[in-house]
């Protein structure tokens, strides 16, 4: 068993549960209310959480919610040093997690690591805050993750990349062996232009967020570039903007690219800001 469920995704807060029969982790835990996260975890049968993996320092990914969950439940946090420094500058309470024994904060700084029976492989992604020099917007050193689980001689892989302005070839290479993929489809460029978004130039920049069509093109590259030949890919579209996108538009525009390139997926699904997604079986 290897499963994932996005509890919430977007600028209003992010948290994804990933679990096996032995190990349970959260990818990010920012802005969403701890009571909501704990309630959804209980409904999923996940009373114990073994780790929180942090992608970057924006407060919709790590903030006081992260602190409350980690401190109350004694949940270890895995983060790179640059991101941790930036996160502490915004949420002072996080400093408390560095104290005591055993320490709850662990730094991976680019290296793969293990949490229970999951292997976690971080990789850098191009994403910055608006006005990166402003400490309140600093993203730290953003990463995506490959989470791998081996069972019955087979390795199943979940790819996770939700905040990135574009996808360089090296990121495609990291994601190429995914059985399931949680990928950003943040905005429709025409809606950004029509609505005169104050942050429009940054959102559309190479270090902002991904638009629907580019997400479709990346999915096509991943499917076509698999090193070990074709295999099914199930995709969850994440971090969908509530101002400059809709779920229906994301599905349609991503689907147009995928179908136009004659690529078949095992499934193309939505995630939501205000409720959890479907549960995805990774590798099935």
Residue-wise pLDDT tens digits, 84-120: 999 999 999 999 999 877 889 999 988 999 999 999 9
Residues 16-45: b if buried by 16+ CB within 10 A, e if exposed: bbbbbeebbbbbbbbbbebebbbebbeebe
Mean pLDDT of 57-81: 97
Tell which residue, 47, 113, 98, 50, has the closest CA to residue 76.
50
Q: Which residue ranges make up each domain of the chain?
A: 2-281
Q: Cβ of 76: how many Cβ atoms within 10 Å?
A: 18
- Kindly report whether the global pTM for this prediction surpasses the value 0.75: yes
Q: Cβ of 124: how many Cβ atoms within 10 Å?
A: 16
pLDDT, position 199? 72
The helix/strand/coil state of 100 is coil
Is a pLDDT exceeding 80 seen at residue 20?
yes
Q: The domain 2-281 is classified under which CATH number: 3.60.15.10, 3.40.50.2300, 3.50.50.60, 2.70.160.11?
A: 3.60.15.10
Radius of gyration of the CA atoms of the chain, in A: 18
Longest dimension (CA), the chain: 55
């Amino acid at each position: 068993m290897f499963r994932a469920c996005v509890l919430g995704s977007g600028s209003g807060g992010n948290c994804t549960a990933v679990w096996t029969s032995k190990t349970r982790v959260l990818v990010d835990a920012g802005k969403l209310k701890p009571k909501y996260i704990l309630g959804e975890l209980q409904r999923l049968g996940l009373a114990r959480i073994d780790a929180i993996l942090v992608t970057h320092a924006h407060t919709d990914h790590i903030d006081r919610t992260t602190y409350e969950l980690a401190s109350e439940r004694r949940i270890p946090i895995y983060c790179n040093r640059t991101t941790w420094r930036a996160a502490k500058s915004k949420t002072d309470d996080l400093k408390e997690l560095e104290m005591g024994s055993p320490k709850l904060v662990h730094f991976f700084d680019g290296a793969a690591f293990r949490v229970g029976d999951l292997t976690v492989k971080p990789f850098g992604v191009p994403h910055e805050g608006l006005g990166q020099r402003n400490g309140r917007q600093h993203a730290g050193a953003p990463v995506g993750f490959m989470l791998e689980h081996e069972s019955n001689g087979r390795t199943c892989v979940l790819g996770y990349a939700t905040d990135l302005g574009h996808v360089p070839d090296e990121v495609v290479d990291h994601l190429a062996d995914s059985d399931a993929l949680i990928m950003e489809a943040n905005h429709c460029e025409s809606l950004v232009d029509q609505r005169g978004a104050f942050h429009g130039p940054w959102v559309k920049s190479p270090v902002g967020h991904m638009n629907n069509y580019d997400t479709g093109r990346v999915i096509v590259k991943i499917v076509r570039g698999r090193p070990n030949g074709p295999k099914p890919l199930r995709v969850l579209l994440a971090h969908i903007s509530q101002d400059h996108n809709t779920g229906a538009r994301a599905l349609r525009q991503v689907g147009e690219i995928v179908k136009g390139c004659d690529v078949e997926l095992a499934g193309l699904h939505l995630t939501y800001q205000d409720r959890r997604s479907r549960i995805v079986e990774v590798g099935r």
